[in-house]
Structure 1
Amino acid sequence: MTTDATETTVTDEAVQSLRGTADPRVRELLTGLIRHLHAFARETRLTQGEWEQAVAFLTETGRTCTDTRQEFILLSDVLGLSMLVETVNGDREAGATESTVLGPFHMTESPARALGANIDLVGGGEPCVVSGRVLSRDGSPLPGAVLDVWQADGNGFYDVQRPDTQPPGNGRGLFTADSEGRFRFRTCVPSPYPIPTDGPVGALLRATGRHPYRPAHIHFIADAAGHTPVTTHIFVAGSDYLDSDAVFAVKQNLVQNFTETDDPALAREFGVPNPFRHARFDLVLERTA
């Protein structure tokens, strides 16, 4: 190793230090990371003070993380990295439900609930029903498919954000599809909401003049035997911020109508007042190779 480091030799030496890495994928990832980070520093002429600010920012990001808050995922989200990684790995066959980001609030286990149960335990939003089927890509139903569902309350907060006003598990449910792959649950129509801005990520958004809002959505993870799980959202058609999601996660195929439905018999079946809002859609999974 030379003692006369230059802008290029220090990069080469850092890469060479990885030559003993046993795992070839770890070596590939770290090599790419070093080369890109070093190229960024050279291209932008990164100053010592700016480097120290970056270290302090990342340190504070780590300090902000708790058992119920993942500030690093939030940082990844607002930089577009989460959506990029999802896109790189989300090449699905035609007809399969598109995937999107997990988000920072899948931080607690969803309680198992019966089909038709209400996940909105506090009220305050417009009642609605969400229903559909879980299908294989050939159209066959997937009985026993498991759906993990989570969303914010009518005021735009997740249960882990407001434990003083929301019981644990509010806005969450783990549902098992019936013998025909059907699912349904009651909830409130989601509303747009801001991602948390009281930490380093919020400071970053303010420094760059960006808004913190996400369009109205409900999260899903759908899983069935012999199929690849999908992590996705549905977005409420007509919601604000569909064209400027703070985490870049909107896909047009995931935008769904929450239709006002005037059907007394169906309202009785679902256990909701009539008329009501109803979102109907199918989740389509790919078979595993």
Structure 2
Amino acid sequence: MNASTKQSFPLFDEAHSAEAVNARIGPNVDPRTREIASAVVRHLHAAVKEIEPTHEEWLAAINFLTNTGHMCSDWRQEFILLSDVLGVSMLVDAINHRRPTQATENTILGPFFVDGLSISDNGTNICRDGKGEPLVVHSRVVDIKGAPISGATIDVWQTNDDGFYDVQQQGIQPEGNLRGKFTSDADGRFWFRSVKPRFYPIPDDGPVGKMLGKLGRHPNRAAHIHFIIEAPGFETVITHIFAPDCPYLQEDTVFGVKESLIGRFEHVEDADAAEKLGFTSPFWSVEQDFVLKPLA
């Protein structure tokens, strides 16, 4: 390209900074990439103009992002944690999972899901460390008309009673503690034994935790059990059951609580029922249906 045919770009100035940057996007860039990049530049430049950071403040922001990257590992994703506590993960999920009111709502996946578990028998006790208050979960997978969905696969995971996932305490917790994978039967039912979930702090020893402290926010997640429900012909649901008596329901640090996901936990004092479950009385029981939306 010679000087006479070279494209002319606007020079950079404060008033038109975003326009100057976006003008450099090449003519052959696909439209969606152009749309995303242009929007990010516009909003980023608008934020900088509103904040008017000093050089020291901007360097601190860059160092924060650098330290966030350094904190990532094979089992810990600090950038997911950052997205979670800023509410972005929940917003992206809400935009991508607009469902009929009767369908089960999604919530946040979190950074501690482990794929590839083998199927367990219904009724399996997934608590392998013996800690916590016994809980039995009975559930049903149905479509939006209430018809049972058989053969659905359900991944389940939660923290132990000390507030840690097994992958956070390798060599301390039994491998696969409080994780399970189940299949719904002909009536769409599945059930398992576990322990009542408790609230716990997200990992707050890294840059995201320090950020929460500076913002005057606590790191606690409301007590919950994770679920992923998959069935052919239906949208996959990534969701939780929340304990209704948790003190952090209204201020879950990652904004994951939805009214429809607060479970109906019953405190059961029945020695015979407990003995049949391999529990001691009292124990907890919860029943929760999962309603799947068919694929378009």
TM-score normalised by the chain length of structure 1: 0.95
- The match for 2:126 is 119
Structure 2 gaps, min length 5: 1-7
- Confirm or deny that 1:99 pairs with 2:83: no
What do the CA deviations read for 1:13-71 (whole angstroms, capped 9, x no partner)? 21122243532212111111111001111111122221111111111111111111111
Q: 5 Å matches for 1:135-150?
A: 135-150=142-157
CA-atom RMSD in angstroms: 1.7
Which of these residues, 69, 72, 75, is aligned with residue 65 of structure 1?
Answer: 72
Identity %: 47
Structure 1 gaps, min length 5: none
- Confirm or deny that 1:284 pairs with 2:285: no
SS at match of 1:161: helix
- The match for 1:22 is 29
What do the CA deviations read for 1:170-225 (whole angstroms, capped 9, x no partner)? 11111111111101111111111111111011110111111111111001111111
- Confirm or deny that 1:205 pairs with 2:212: yes
Report the residue type matching 1:240 in the other structure.
P
User: Which 4+ runs in 1 deviate beyond 6 A?
Assistant: none
Contact 1:15–1:34 at 8 Å: present in 2 too? yes
- The match for 1:161 is 168
- The match for 1:228 is 235
Using the TM superposition, give the Cα deviation of residue 146 of structure 1 relative to its aligned residue in structure 2, in angstroms: 0.7
Q: 5 Å matches for 1:16-95?
A: 16-95=23-102
- Confirm or deny that 1:151 pairs with 2:158: yes
SS at match of 2:226: strand
What do the CA deviations read for 1:131-151 (whole angstroms, capped 9, x no partner)? 110000110100000111110
Using the TM superposition, give the Cα deviation of residue 4 of structure 1 relative to its aligned residue in structure 2, in angstroms: 4.2
Report the residue type matching 2:147 in the other structure.
S
SS at match of 1:155: coil
TM-score normalised by the chain length of structure 2: 0.92
Count of aligned residue pairs for this structure pair: 289
Once the two structures are overlaid, the 10-residue window that deviates more, 45-54 or 203-212, is: 45-54
Once the two structures are overlaid, the 10-residue window that deviates more, 8-17 or 88-97, is: 8-17
Contact 1:156–1:191 at 8 Å: present in 2 too? yes
SS at match of 1:209: coil
Aligned counterparts of 1:186 and 1:52: Cα–Cα separation in 2 = 50
- The match for 1:193 is 200
